Amino acid sequence: TFVVTDNCIQCKYTDCVSVCPVDCFHEGPNFLVIDPEECIDCALCEPECPADAISSEEELPEDQAHFLELNAELSKNWPVIAEQKDPLSEAAEWDGVGNKLQHLQR
Ligand code: SF4
Ligand code: F3S
């Protein structure tokens, strides 16, 4: 599966959504996650993210390992997002800020 990691939080560019062939992105207030049971590992979304926030499970950096479980958990609660929308208004300011998990809104 592919995994959405920390740098998506507070940015939520949603470019990833427009290329996913199986609509497996789920949307929360300030973060997107991938449903690991639906993702077909096509890898199309990874290069689309302006914030470089998407990684394959295999290449997930050690300090992002907890996002694997978080994507699985939150995808069960959040609705599918199938169409791209505007990023969050302060996306550019938040892009690259470290450890944004503390700002995650559920
Ligand atoms: Fe969707 Fe493919 Fe990305 Fe999985 S790897 S989330 S199927 S675009
Ligand atoms: Fe997030 Fe990147 Fe998609 S910031 S919403 S994973 S394009």
Instruction: Report pLDDT digits (tens) over 69-84.
Output: 999 999 999 999 999 9
> Distance of alpha carbon 37 from its chain centroid, rounded?
15
Residue 7 pLDDT: 98
Q: Which residue in 6, 5, 105 sits closest to 56, CA to CA?
A: 5
The Cα 93–Cα 71 span in angstroms is: 24
The Cα 16–Cα 106 span in angstroms is: 20
User: Measured from the CA of 15, which atom of ligand 2 is nearest?
Assistant: 7
ipTM, two decimals: 0.99
> Domain segments of the chain: what residues?
2-81
Residue 80 pLDDT: 98
Convert the pLDDT of each residue in 23-70 to its tens digit: 999 999 999 999 999 999 999 999 999 999 999 999 999 999 999 999
Q: What is the fold, at CATH topology level, of the domain defined by 2-81?
A: Alpha-Beta Plaits (3.30.70)
Distance 17 CA to ligand 2 centre (A): 8
The Cα 92–Cα 106 span in angstroms is: 22
**Ligand 2: does its nearest atom lie under 6 Å from the Cβ of 9?**
no
Residue 20 pLDDT: 98
Residue 75 pLDDT: 98
Q: Of 45, 49, 60, which is best to mutate to test ligand 1, by the most ligand atoms within 8 angstroms of its C-beta?
A: 45
**Ligand 2: does its nearest atom lie under 6 Å from the Cβ of 13?**
yes
Count how many residues are written for the chain: 106
Which tokens in the block code for residue 85? 């929308």
